[in-house]
Every structure is written in structure tokens, then in C-alpha cells.
Chains A and B, each alone.
Chain A
Amino acid sequence: AQSVSQHNHHVILSEAASLELGCNYSYGGTVNLFWYVQYPGQHLQLLLKYFSGDPLVKGIKGFEAEFIKSKFSFNLRKPSVQWSDTAEYFCALRNTGRRALTFGSGTRLQVQP
């Protein structure tokens, strides 16, 4: 069975600090990986995704993620966070034999001005 782990449950940063949120998965085959964000009071929305090719993926709002196959990781990064990045972030995985996404437990990011 596949699973996704997000070990950081709650992260508090000051504005302009750098961000890295961890995401590890367990699945031995080909995967598609996603990061979703949920801003307070809003829908979940796609931040970025990895399907194939360049393992460094750039998303909206200055976010990027790197797929490291040997480490089964897909960490989310941003060099300088803003107060508006305060949200909950979810990593998700889809394997090629399954239509549904498996989500991690989420990381709540709080950016202090």
C-alpha cells in the first residue's frame, strides 16, 4: 500500500525566512506527486506537481519542489516566505495504477509579520 508522510505538523516562521516542508512517500513504482495548499477559508488548490522529467518543479507563488527518487522525497521549498503564505500544505501521491490521490496529514504553516 502507498502512503505519504509529512513530519512537520506545524511550522512557524518569520517573514523573509526560507521554507522547506518535508514529504516522504512509500511506493516502489512510478508515482505522480503533488503539493496542495489550503488558505484560511478557501478551497484546496494545486500548488505544483511532478509527473516526469526535470525533478525540480516550479509552482505558483514562488514555490518549488524537488523529487529525489532515491530518498522517496518531494520536499516543498520557498526562499522567502510572506505573511500571505500562512496556510495548510498537503503533499499527495498518485501511482500509475490507481486513480485516486493519497494525501499526507498536512503541515500548518504560520508566517509571522
Chain B
Amino acid sequence: SQTIHQWPATLVQPVGSPLSLECTVEGTSNPNLYWYRQAAGRGLQLLFYSVGIGQISSEVPQNLSASRPQDRQFILSSKKLLLSDSGFYLCAWSDLGETSNYGYTFGSGTRLTVV
């Protein structure tokens, strides 16, 4: 069965420090991968999505970047964190194969606090 792993679960980082959040998927190949940020009262905001290795689409201009070095690995990064980067980050995957339901499977999320 397919599973998605996201870590760390919580992270406290000082302003100006770098960031690396990792997401990996098991049990499927060539998944579509997504990074969302969830803010209270604002729902889920799509940050990045990837349809394949090295293919990244950015949805909103921001201080973050994403990379997909392997088929089932998706990394969210920043060179210098801002206070406004605090939030709850969710990784998700979907399958667009013939039997796909086009829905997402979400990871457990990372609570990032920038201090």
C-alpha cells in the first residue's frame, strides 16, 4: 500500500536560518507531489507541485523553494527563514494513472515556528 512520510513533525528555527523539510512516498511510482501551507482560517495554500524528477511548478512568489531529486522524494527549502514562514506545511501525493481517483493522500505535516 502507498504511504507518505513527512518529517520533522515540529521545528523551531531562528530567523535567517536555513530550512529543509522532507517528504517521501512509498508504494507508488511517478507520483505527483505537492507542498501546501495550512493557515488557520485560510485553508490550504498550494506552494509547489511536481509531476516528475526535477520538474517543479511554483504557485506563489515566496521565500521558499522546492526540489525533487528522486522520483518519490520532495524537499521544501529556504536559504534564510522569515518570521512569516511560520505555519503548518503539508506534503501530499496523487496518482494520475487510469485507475486514479485524482484525490490526494496527505502527510502528517510539519509545524514550523520561526523565532
Q: Is the CB of A94 within 8 A of B102?
A: yes
Task: Flag the segment in B14-22, B42-50, B66-74 that touches A.
Answer: B42-50
Residues of B within 8 A of A106 (CB): 41, 43-44
Say yes or no for B103: interface residue by CB 8 A criterion: yes
Interface class of chain B by DSSP:
strand
Interface centre among B34, B106, B107 (most CB of A within 10 A): B106
Number of A-B contacts (CB under 8 A): 50
Interchain CB contact (< 8 A) of B46 among A6, A9, A102: A102
Residues of A within 8 A of B104 (CB): 36, 44, 46, 101
Task: Give the interface of B toward A (CB within 8 A).
Answer: 32, 34, 36, 41-46, 49, 51, 57, 59, 90, 92, 94, 96, 101-104, 106-109
Task: Give the interface of A toward B (CB within 8 A).
Answer: 6, 9, 32, 34, 36, 43-46, 49, 51, 90, 94, 99-106
